[in-house]
Amino acid sequence: MNRIVLITPVLLLSACHREGPKLEKTVSPVRVTPVNMYQPKGGGRYSATITPGRQVSLAFRVSGIVTAIHYAGGRGLEPGDVVAGGTVLAKLREEDYGNATAQAQSQLDAAREGQKSARAQLAQAEASHIKAEADFVRSKTLIESQSLTRPEFDAAKAQFDVTAAQVEAARAQIDSTAAQIRTAEAAIASARLNQADTALAAPFTASIVQRNVELGMMAGPSQAAYTLADISTVKATFGVPDTVAVQLKPGKRIAIGVEALPEAGFAGVVTAIAAVADTDTRLFQVEISLANPHLALKPGMIASLTLGEPGAAPAPVPVVPVSAIIRDRENPAAFAVMVVENQIAKARHVTLGPTFGDVLAVTSGVKPGELIIRAGATLVTNGELVEVIP
């Protein structure tokens, strides 16, 4: 009995100290970058992309076989060729729609002939009705003086009623033929429009961007036949932060340089400023229109411009990548960055300055050398443990 008493407490003590498996908290991987100093060059410098002043994709409104395309220099139009406004670029087989136009014209002619016949019938019915009415009035006088038999009076009245019905029927026939004429006129107008739409013309003088039609192929509304771009006027598009967007006004003239044409100088006018910032970059898109009479500027070229007054070099400013900027969770109208200290992410409110390429100046909130999250900032919370990865 003494041996059993000594062993039992040990078993109970072992059971009381048994622990379940521990759950480890997941560590979020992030990429960081230090807050660097940037030396502005007398104004914010931006890169812009040259785009056409206007660009359209042309397609046939009707379907058919391509029977002709516009040739220049013995060949079909190719990208880069310039065509004048009104040039017929391609044609479909017109006979298909010419037959429909002829059929609609025949229906219109038949409806008009039917109307003429109905009018003749109305004139005849009205003449018969006038005579029948006179006979009926005379019959009423005679029947009252007992100079006419009842059957003769009834016959006169029946003739009067019949001719009245004939007049109404003739008028209804005229109304019916008028409706047929209107329907036929609408049909022939539609047929003529379809026939005219077998020719595809350039709406304005433009350069060919793409041609998708060949002789003998089936073309229709679902496929763009040509893409045209008017580059007599081009646009330079670029993004700016809110601090710069509020300083820009439509009509402001700005000098622009193009890397591919270093010796040439261009100037344009601000024509559009986005009302809403891009959700990814938080930049406002700006458009500058430039005259391009010699077609030297081509869509896709890279341009550069400086916003701000040139002069003495300003003081260096701390900058952070655009990708590091997030909305302040406590104040969605403000901005923040996630600073990493001892593998702990800490939200830090910042005040943004001008942009310089893909970095933004920060006027307050961080110090040079501090590590901030440049990739993954939106996926971590304040105080969360993170793992810095290359």
DSSP, residue by residue, 319-343: EEEGGG-EE-SS-TTSEEEEEEETT
Could you tell me how many residues make up the chain? Answer: 390
Q: Is residue 13 part of a domain?
A: no
Q: Are residues 68 and 217 in the same domain?
A: yes
Q: What is the pLDDT of residue 185?
A: 87
Q: Domain of 343: which CATH number?
A: 2.40.420.20
Q: Are residues 120 and 187 in the same domain?
A: yes
Q: Are residues 238 and 257 in the same domain?
A: yes
Q: Are residues 80 and 210 in the same domain?
A: yes
Listed residues 261, 278, 307: the one ending a domain: 307
Q: What is the pLDDT of residue 311?
A: 52
**C-alpha torsion sign, points 2, 6, 7, 11:** positive
Q: Is residue 269 part of a domain?
A: yes
Q: Are residues 268 and 125 in the same domain?
A: no
Q: Is residue 210 part of a domain?
A: yes
Q: Are residues 75 and 210 in the same domain?
A: yes
Give the other-Cβ count within 10 Å of 122's Cβ: 19
Q: What is the pLDDT of residue 10?
A: 41
Q: What is the pLDDT of residue 187?
A: 87
Question: Is this model's pTM higher than 0.85 or not?
Answer: no
Q: Domain of 281: which CATH number?
A: 2.40.30.170
Counted domains in the chain: 4
Per the structure, the complete domain to which residue 375 belongs is given by 28-40+314-388
Q: What is the pLDDT of residue 385?
A: 92
Q: Are residues 254 and 127 in the same domain?
A: no
Report the b/e string of 254-283 with b at 16+ CB within 10 A: bebebeeeeeeebebebbebeeebeeeebb
Q: What is the pLDDT of residue 314?
A: 65
Q: Is residue 177 part of a domain?
A: yes
Q: Are residues 202 and 70 in the same domain?
A: yes
Q: Are residues 207 and 249 in the same domain?
A: no
Q: What is the rounded distance in angstroms from the CA atom of residue 231 to the CA atom of residue 55?
A: 9
pLDDT in tens, the chain (390 residues): 444 444 444 433 344 444 545 445 678 899 999 999 987 665 577 889 999 999 999 999 999 999 999 998 889 999 989 999 999 999 999 888 888 888 888 888 888 888 888 888 889 888 888 988 888 888 888 888 887 888 888 888 898 899 889 889 889 988 888 898 888 888 888 888 888 899 999 999 999 999 999 999 999 999 999 999 999 999 999 998 887 888 899 999 999 998 888 888 899 999 999 999 888 778 899 999 999 988 899 998 989 888 865 555 567 889 999 899 998 888 888 899 999 999 999 999 998 877 777 888 898 899 999 999 999 898 999 999 999 998
Strands (E), 197-325: 199-201, 206-211, 218-219, 226-240, 253-258, 261-273, 284-291, 302-307, 317-321
Q: Are residues 187 and 235 in the same domain?
A: no
